[in-house]
């Protein structure tokens, strides 16, 4: 059994997936302070739009509604994969019981590879234990992954919402500011601009604090995904093709391949979206006549523009940028490796 390339490759894929689960659990346990930071900023933003930033309330809650919709879709998709895997395992068993004839030497299907020296996993009660254990693992892994992907969606969307708050405040920075006709108006306008600028700087700083907390939790997970998503997609596709050549169809591998592609694409899209949103803060500064705003606040606007153009704090030496372009490159490499394996006689 160990020399069966298809089985060995499939087992390797599950090992990679289980190691990722351990990494998710470890990051969740060790980075609780960053999760608390997210909750604190969520409360602060809700209080802000209900008090000082009341004029942004409608647009703010429109963003929150979109976040809820995206989170709900990610939860349904992730749990749907687990339900699909468990359902196919049970349907395969029902099909076997309906089609088998007494006296044949066929064994009940076990779609996840198990091995323990000379133990026969086709006998009762070992088969039942293995089948229930695999289905339990499908559901618990999905539950754990749902927390990770849903929190990531909420986190990125909250950073983007903070960027929107900064952009809206910048657009309103010089609103109702007219050329002063006397010293009293000049002092009034100066105090009004300073107050608005104080809000902009505070929101911009909190946006980067929240972004650093996000990087502290998800940077390791994103790096792991970047390095191993290609091999997982390639190996699952290879195992599926090998089993089809043998006249078998393993829907669990097909679902795992599709889930890997989709659930790796989501973080890449989120990071691309986040990078564009943060850089749009600089564009908002250019859209106002900040050169007429006065020497007191002009340096702050320049610093905000410069900081907004920096790369996201998600890069690490030896790794590529987390983006849709990188995702496309990884999938292309996975397809090339799949073709190479199919053309090689192992």
The encoded tokens of residue 141 equal: 């892994």
Greater confidence (107 vs 261) lies with 261
The answer as to whether 271 is a domain residue is: yes
Over range 193-212, report the average pLDDT: 91
Mean pLDDT estimate for the chain: 88
pLDDT value at position 46? Answer: 93
pLDDT over 50 at 31, yes or no: yes
Residue that the structure tokens 């069966």 belong to: 4
Token couple for 113? 């590879």
233 touches 334 (CB < 8 A): yes
User: Is 263 domain-assigned?
Assistant: yes
> Of the segments 29-33, 53-57, 240-244, 293-297, which one has the largest average pLDDT value?
29-33
* Residue 151 included in any domain: yes
Average pLDDT over residues 84-98: 89
293 compared with 311, residue with greater pLDDT: 311
Q: What is the rounded average pLDDT of the residues 285-291?
A: 77
pLDDT surpassing 90 at residue 210: yes
Domain region containing 96: 5-341
Q: Is the pLDDT confidence value at 1 over 60?
A: no
In Å, how far are 70, 90, 141, 150, 268 from 76, measured between CA atoms? 10, 21, 14, 11, 19
Q: Give the pLDDT score at 154.
A: 96
- Predicted confidence band of residue 318 (pLDDT cuts 50, 70, 90): confident
Q: Where residue 153 falls among pLDDT bands split at 50, 70, 90?
A: very high
Residue 249's pLDDT band (boundaries 50, 70, 90)?
A: confident
What pLDDT does 123 receive?
A: 86
Q: d(Cα 17, Cα 36) in Å, to the nearest integer?
A: 27
The reply to whether 212 falls in a domain is yes
Cβ atoms 259, 79 nearer than 8 A: no
The reported pTM is 0.89
Over residues 253-257, mean pLDDT: 89
Range of 104-113, 190-199, 323-332 with top mean pLDDT: 323-332
Determine the average pLDDT of the residues in 310-332: 90
Could you give the C-alpha distances from 12 to 21, 134, 228, 234, 300, in angstroms and in order? Answer: 14, 16, 12, 12, 53
Q: Residue 139, Cα to own-chain centre: how many angstroms?
A: 19
**3-state DSSP assignment of residue 289:** coil
Q: In this predicted model, what pLDDT tens digit does every residue of 293-304 receive, in sequence order?
A: 667 778 888 889
Highest mean pLDDT among 211-215, 241-245, 301-305: 211-215
The mean-pLDDT minimum among 129-138, 178-187, 204-213 falls in 178-187
- Between 346 and 66, the more confident residue is 66
Tokens 């996993």, residue located: 121
* pLDDT surpassing 80 at residue 104: no
- CA-nearest of 229, 208, 176, 182 to 17 is 229
CA 27 → CA 13, 46, 147, 151, 220, distances in Å? Answer: 21, 27, 12, 13, 8
Record the tokens describing residue 260, joined without a space: 């890997």
Q: Which residue has the higher pLDDT, 185 or 123?
A: 123
Q: How far apart are CA 45 and CA 17, in angstroms?
A: 36
Residue 56 lies in a domain: yes
Q: By the 8 A CB rule, do 163 and 205 touch?
A: no
Percent of the chain scoring above 70 in pLDDT: 96
∠ CA 180-186-187, rounded to 5°: 160
186 assigned to some structural domain: yes
Amino acid 2: pLDDT:
43
Q: What is the mean pLDDT of residues 314-321?
A: 86
12-22: per-residue pLDDT in tens?
888 988 999 99
- Residue 346 inside a domain? The answer is no
Q: How many domains does the chain have?
A: 1
Q: Are 230 and 340 in contact (CB under 8 A)?
A: no
Range 186-192 average pLDDT: 81
Q: Look at the alpha carbons of 46, 52, 56, 57 in this order and tell me if their dihedral is positive or negative.
A: positive
CA atoms within 13 A on the CB side of 79: 10
Question: How high is the pLDDT of residue 187?
Answer: 82
Q: Which pLDDT does position 339 carry in this prediction?
A: 92
């Amino acid at each position: 059994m160990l020399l069966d390339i298809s089985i060995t490759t499939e087992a390797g894929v599950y090992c990679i997936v289980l190691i990722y689960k351990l990494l998710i659990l470890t990051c969740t346990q060790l980075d609780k302070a960053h999760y608390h930071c997210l909750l604190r900023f969520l409360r602060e933003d809700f209080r802000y739009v209900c008090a000082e930033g009341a004029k942004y309330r409608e647009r703010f809650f429109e963003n929150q509604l979109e976040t809820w919709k995206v989170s709900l879709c990610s939860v349904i998709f992730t749990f749907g994969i687990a339900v699909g895997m468990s359902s196919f395992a049970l349907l395969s068993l029902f099909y076997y019981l309906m089609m088998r004839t007494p006296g044949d030497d066929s064994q009940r299907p076990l779609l996840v590879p198990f091995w323990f020296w000379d133990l026969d996993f086709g006998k009762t009660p070992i088969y039942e234990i293995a089948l229930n254990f695999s289905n339990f693992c499908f559901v618990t892994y999905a539950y754990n992954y749902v927390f990770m992907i849903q929190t990531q969606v909420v986190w990125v969307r909250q950073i983007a919402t903070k960027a929107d708050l900064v952009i809206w405040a910048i657009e309103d920075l010089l609103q109702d500011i007219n050329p002063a006709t006397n010293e009293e108006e000049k002092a009034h306008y100066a105090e009004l601009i300073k107050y608005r600028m104080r809000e902009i700087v505070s929101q911009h700083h909190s946006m980067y604090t929240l972004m650093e907390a996000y990087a502290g939790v998800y940077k390791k997970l994103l790096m792991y995904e970047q390095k191993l998503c290609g091999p997982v997609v390639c190996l699952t596709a290879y195992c599926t093709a090998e089993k089809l050549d043998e006249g078998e169809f393993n829907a669990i591998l097909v679902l795992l391949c599709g889930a890997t592609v989709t659930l790796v694409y989501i973080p890449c899209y989120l990071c691309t979206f986040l990078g564009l949103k943060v850089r749009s803060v600089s564009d908002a500064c250019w859209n106002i006549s900040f050169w007429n705003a006065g020497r007191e606040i002009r340096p702050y606007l320049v610093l905000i523009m410069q900081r907004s153009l920096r790369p996201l704090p998600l890069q690490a030496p030896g790794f590529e940028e987390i983006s849709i372009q990188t995702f496309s490159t990884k999938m292309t490499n996975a397809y090339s490796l799949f073709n190479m394996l199919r053309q090689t006689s192992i």
